[in-house]
């Protein structure tokens, strides 16, 4: 048996650098919000690379970028990829790594003259992050048919922009129909974004479960009034109510155990003036748990607390659901293929649960799906400090290559 085919790691790293400069900041961070000018630059670059290696490039109705490579048969394709968009001031690996590694795998197969029985399909899904438009995983939701194209195009962003208009503006409103491809299996390669692999000195994570996510927006309406003349007991302070809810999230997580996460990432006061009691406040709540029953319990406890605070502070409270994505189980057979691929390369591997959301958890609803993780330095992600070592980046791409070969041959 000869040495296994391996990717061109320096080309992968070079492209990661190049893509990281599109929307990049001097501190190494990246802001490539979905459908922004920076996202357009990233997409343009990726499409050029996809065309260079001879893929059949299609853009679907919600802007997902798809690159098909024919197989010896026209059976269902093996899909692999991730997303190009980032959070604001995020890192250069989240999403981009999985997309560029997919491209690298395909180029390696082209150069090696390797034909697979099944067709291969690389994908860069639109708006995985949800940092500009909710829901997150918007492109993959439309890809599997769980979000209609009309609903997707109608979404209003946190910045007031319209998804459909922005998609047209950047030139990525395609016509390839959503929900028209039924992959045989799906694989997403991603940085772990957490501390487990690094702490345990393990190279590869085979992801067998993905956390459930609940996003809500809470709006509180009180009465704006003078900060100096209004006695404390006569206030209807929407800002204070919001702050109490934000602080409660820590207690809520403590009540529900170590797997519960609870975060307030956005908060805004109106009129937002130093000497005015806020008349209105709006905050976001991100709740996560791998156990759906506990996640539902977290939502119920939060709702009860919001009612209590509204009564005590004499404000009106309104809650709007932005996202509910149930925890996902990965396909045991695809997980086993990933483990076998890592073993065939002599790489250490462990099974794990993802605490981040991923397109893979949407794909997993319909198609056999699993994920490959590599270590994140310090467990840091959604931050300019996000980093994974060149050796780990190369190892993950090689595991993806072997996994795809095993699934498609
Ligand atoms: C996306 O990265 C998320 O987990 O929110
Ligand atoms: Mn990601
Ligand atoms: Mn992310």
**What is the token pair recorded at 377?**
């330095």
Q: How far apart are CA 346 and CA 49, in angstroms?
A: 31
Computed over its alpha carbons, how large is the radius of gyration of the chain? 22
DSSP for 299-323 reads HHHHHHHHHHHHHHHT-EEEEEEEE
**pLDDT for res 3:** 86
**pLDDT for res 46:** 98
Band (pLDDT 50/70/90 cuts) for residue 26 is very high
Give 273's contacts (C-beta < 8 A, 6+ positions apart): none
User: How confident is the model over 222-249, as a mean pLDDT?
Assistant: 98
**Domains contained in the chain, CATH given:** 9-211+327-408 (3.40.630.10), 212-325 (3.30.70.360)
| Pocket residues: Cβ below 6 A from ligand 1 | 129, 136, 356-357
Q: Which residues pair with 187 in a beta bridge?
A: 80, 370
The conformation of residue 355, written as its DSSP 8-state character, comes to S
Nearest CA to ligand 1 atom 5: 357
Residue 371 Cα to ligand 3 midpoint, Å, equals 15
Residue 222 Cα to ligand 3 midpoint, Å, equals 34
Give 205's contacts (C-beta < 8 A, 6+ positions apart): 192, 196, 197, 349, 350, 351, 352, 371, 372, 373, 374
Q: How do residues 283-330 score in pLDDT, each as one tens digit?
A: 999 999 999 999 999 999 999 999 999 999 999 999 999 999 999 999
Q: How far apart are CA 382 and CA 359, in angstroms?
A: 16
Band (pLDDT 50/70/90 cuts) for residue 1 is low
Q: Is the pLDDT of residue 55 over 80?
A: yes
Exposed / middle / buried, residue 22 (Cβ in 10 Å: 0-12, 13-18, 19+):
buried
User: How confident is the model over 195-210, as a mean pLDDT?
Assistant: 98
Best mutation site among 95, 265, 357, 362 for ligand 1, i.e. most ligand atoms within 8 A of its Cβ? 357
Band (pLDDT 50/70/90 cuts) for residue 2 is confident
Answer whether 0.85 is exceeded by the pTM. yes
* Residue count (the chain): 409
């Amino acid at each position: 048996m000869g040495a296994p085919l391996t990717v061109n790691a320096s080309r992968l790293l070079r492209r990661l650098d190049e893509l990281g400069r599109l929307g990049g900041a001097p501190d190494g961070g990246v802001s490539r919000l979905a459908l922004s000018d920076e996202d357009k630059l990233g997409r343009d670059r990726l499409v050029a690379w996809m065309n260079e290696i001879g893929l059949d490039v299609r853009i679907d109705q919600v802007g997902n970028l798809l690159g098909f490579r024919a197989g010896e048969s026209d059976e269902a394709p093996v899909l692999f990829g991730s997303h190009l968009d980032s959070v604001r001031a995020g890192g250069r690996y989240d999403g981009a790594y999985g997309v560029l590694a997919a491209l690298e795998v395909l180029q390696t197969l082209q150069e090696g003259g390797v034909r697979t029985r099944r067709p291969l399909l690389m994908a860069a899904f639109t708006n995985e992050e949800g940092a500009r438009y909710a829901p997150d995983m918007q492109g993959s939701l439309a890809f599997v048919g769980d979000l209609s194209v009309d609903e997707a195009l109608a979404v209003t962003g946190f910045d007031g922009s319209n998804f459909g208009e922005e998609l047209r503006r950047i030139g990525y409103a395609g016509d390839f129909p959503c929900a028209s491809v039924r992959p045989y299996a799906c694989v997403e390669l991603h940085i772990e974004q957490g501390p487990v692999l690094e702490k345990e000195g393990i190279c590869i994570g085979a992801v067998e479960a993905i956390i459930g996510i609940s996003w809500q927006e809470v709006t509180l309406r009180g009465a704006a009034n003078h900060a100096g003349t209004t006695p404390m007991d006569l206030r209807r302070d929407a800002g204070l109510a919001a702050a109490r809810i934000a602080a409660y999230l820590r207690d809520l997580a403590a009540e529900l155990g170590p797997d519960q996460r609870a975060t307030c990432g956005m908060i805004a006061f109106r009129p937002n003036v130093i000497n005015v009691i806020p008349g209105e406040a709006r905050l976001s709540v991100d709740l996560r748990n791998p156990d759906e029953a506990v996640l539902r319990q977290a939502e119920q406890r939060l709702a009860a607390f919001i009612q209590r605070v509204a009564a005590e502070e004499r404000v009106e409270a309104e809650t709007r659901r932005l996202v509910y994505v149930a925890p996902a189980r990965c396909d045991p057979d695809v997980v086993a293929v990933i483990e076998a691929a890592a073993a065939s390369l002599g790489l250490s591997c462990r099974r794990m649960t993802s605490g981040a959301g991923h397109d893979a958890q949407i794909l997993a609803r319909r198609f056999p799906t699993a994920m490959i993780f590599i270590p994140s330095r310090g467990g840091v992600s959604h931050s300019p400090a996000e980093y994974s070592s060149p050796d780990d980046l190369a190892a993950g791409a090689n595991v993806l290559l072997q996994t795809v070969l095993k699934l498609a041959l």
